[in-house]
Amino acid sequence: MAEAPVLGGEGLPRVYTRSEHNISRTLISENALKVLYRLKKEGYQAYLVGGCVRDLLLGREPKDFDVVTDASPEEVRQVFRNCRLIGRRFRLAHVHFGQEIIEVATFRALEAEAEHTERVTHNGRILRDNVFGCIEEDAFRRDFSVNALYYNIKDFSVVDYVGGMDDHRAGMMRLIGNPEKRYREDPVRMLRAVRFAVKLGFTIHPDSAEPIPRLAHLLQEIPPARLFDEIIKLMLSGYGVQTFEQLRHFGLFGALFPDTDKALGRIPEGHPLTFLAKSLERTDERITDHKPVTPYFLFAALLWEPVRLRASKLIESGQNSILAYQDAGDEVIRRQLKWIAIPKSIALPAREVWAMQPRFEMTQGGRAFRLLTHPKFRAAYDFLLLRAETGEADPALADWWTRFQSADEAEQKSMIRTGGGNRHSSRNRTRKRRTRRKPNNNAPTP
């Protein structure tokens, strides 16, 4: 087996010895160490690479540990009985240790070695298959320099081919190679640049930032299911507010949520904190406090502004408010599915949260009691509180529902007799014109 390059000579990497970096094996998964040592014992090169090395250098404990080697996937499987091979275009080895999986990849080849598999789509996006190579080729195939640092189990050094350590120290996200070409290879790298920069507190290098607004439209070529996964990573990372701001800054948010971006563009400059920003802020707080968050609430917030605007138009035309929000939700979800594959388990409860908002205005009679028993009442109530906090809903209405939940039975009956004096419920009761909801034969199927 070929040995890894050593320091010295043109074109060779910068090798940081154990005394020159702060990575400690005490922060490395015991199972990852087992894989590294076993591969080394069998005569193969073995390195930690990617986000785990980046995070270890920051003093953070990584969630996942990825290993790269010069052993082929089949050779890895021969070494580990608890190994399964996955993937078609590029085979990976998953070594199982109970609930933990250590992913082992074979070094990938440079572009020149894979030219025979390169394809270009009609809009200029570059596609190519992966083939095996050596560690140097593997380094230059990675996306960002700080993700191309290799921790060598042989001597506990960090191997750097692309200046990743300098960028790491400078807090800089820099693409390896020509930024525009790399984004065309995989447009999701634009989202990854934002996600990593926000998460790590880094800055995107000017050369890597410049093409993003021009190429944001390439996200439309990405499978909607993959974009759904990316949205979850972006918005449920604990840095949703900053991520949202950066996505809008680079024109990426509009490529992901065009209806919402258009609707937000109508909000006057200097307007108080928007409902969406406040929702993301509260989600970040829950994640920081290790409290559970529900993806459907996130998507309900992300799509609320276009739903609200569409429902308002339907109500102005004379449609019943509840049906208006139901129809508006159906329309917005159906359009959004072109870009992001929102599963039914998220789309359906999001619709319920939207449709319950006008029902909160009905504070007289038995409807209030029935609404209180709705399975999604708590989420819809929290939604109402955020609307009231950002000036979109009547604070008196939110206060009425807060008191109604904690009141005893006698007080509740008294409250529903008067309706809390809320002007919204009176307006809704006196509306004479009602429209029957037409069957929607084109209902979306998330």
- Active site residue: 55, 70, 143, 284, which one? 143
What secondary structure letter does DSSP report for 175? B
Q: How many residues does the chain have?
A: 446
Q: Which whole-number Å values give the CA distances from 280 to 39, 393, 401, in the listed order?
A: 44, 18, 23
Residue identified by tokens 């572009």 is 111
Establish whether 64 is a catalytic residue. yes
Distance CA 252, CA 190 (A): 8
End-to-end CA distance of the chain, in Å?
50
- Active site residue: 66, 70, 284, 330, which one? 66
Establish whether 66 is a catalytic residue. yes
Establish whether 330 is a catalytic residue. no
Cα torsion 228, 105, 10, 128: sign? negative
The angle subtended at Cα 294 by Cα 290 and Cα 298, nearest 5°, is: 110
Q: Which long-range contacts (CB under 8 A, 24 or more apart) does 37-41 make?
A: 37/153, 38/79, 38/80, 39/67, 39/69, 39/71, 39/76, 39/79, 39/104, 40/153, 40/154
State which H helix or E strand residue 416 sits in.
Answer: helix 409-418
State which H helix or E strand residue 67 sits in.
Answer: strand 66-69
Is the distance from CB of 212 to CB of 197 less than 8 angstroms?
no
Distance CA 95, CA 104 (A): 7
Residues recognised as catalytic: 64, 66, 143
